[in-house]
Structure 1
Amino acid sequence: MEIARLILDYIKALTWPAVTLGGLFIFRQQLRDLSGRISRANFMGVEIEAAIRETQTAIEEAVTESEEELPLETSDPALLWLEPNPPRFGESDLDQALQKVDRLEHMVRRFAYEVDTSVAGETTLQAARTLVGAGLVHQSSLRVLRELLFVRDQGGRGLSAYETRQLADSAAQLQLVLQVAQHAYRNPRTRVVGDP
């Protein structure tokens, strides 16, 4: 009788932990997905804030810093190369999309020049290859840049409104990639998400 009561007490004591573990096991995929979206949690007075906040702050700093252009001397022969296109003053969506590609080209040239001044006078794609070679941007960014420059050089002829928006969005996204890379280059202690 004593043994039966002892076993019953053990079962009562282990029921809720077993149910909890079983629930965690059954819903493990959903919990894993949920934990990827949570940036802040509070459990029994212990507050946990994920590294998402730090990453967002680093990206915001990168965007702010990359918008501050490095001063150039007017006697610098690379000045014309660093300012490749006169500004466009169109009001249409296509003109605005082409302006974004122009700004992207400007950013690529300035960043490549910052990394290696010998790229002055080279094509924008050769300057971008310098960034790829330095491990600052991925090869896929070079392919996207090549396509954007090709469309820009064609004047965007034949683009639908949707394709024009895609052109502008792609240029803006690649600018953001470059801004983060610039921040990482200028602040080598910054760890970008995905780095080892």
Structure 2
Amino acid sequence: MEIAKLILEYIKVLAWPFVILIVIFIFRRQIESLIKRLEKVDLPGEISLSLREEIFEAKKLSDKVIAESPPPKARGVERLPLTEANLRMIQLGLRPSPSGLNVNYYRDIAETDPNLALAGLRLEVDVLLKNLAQGFNVAITPTDSRSRLVRKLQDSGAITLQQEKLIQKILQLSNAAVHGMVISSYEASEIINTASVLVDQYISWLSWGFADGWRSN
């Protein structure tokens, strides 16, 4: 009797894994489809985005931006301290940054809410783009989309072609997050890391891009 009970208990223990395997086998196509849906999102305009591929592409673009030679005016110029970034922008009549140009602000948010972090990053990029347009006297209109604004900046020479491509990629990924793509904290941090390259270059521009003889306090 005890042996029978013991065998029954073993059967109970082994039964659930076996049932799970059967369910996975029967519904494997549906499960594969679900996984693909979690990895991809369809954006407005029938654009399909594969997250892993696009993050990898963003990293490559980031490396290309880093490899570019800095503008002659930027060479040997003292860098603006992060603590003075917003004050500097206000003095220049530019819009202050939501994070004070500190990308760690978005990294911290990404630990608990990756999608919110990327939504905030998109807002940050908006501010920087409009400030660049103002600083380089690039005419923009309220109806200009982000992508159109980036193209105008590149056409005017305010940013390089590689910078334009990276900005467009970051905006694409941030838009995916806003539209509900499932994004992990790690993936959000990877996207933020690629954007940090542009933020660093923007801070450098605040240091050399204006003829007011800026010096650190």
TM-score w.r.t. structure 2 length? 0.44
Greater relative contact order, per chain length (Cα 8 Å cut-off, separation 6+): 2
Structure 1 or 2, whichever has the larger Rg, is 1
Q: Give the alignment's TM-score, normalised by structure 1.
A: 0.48
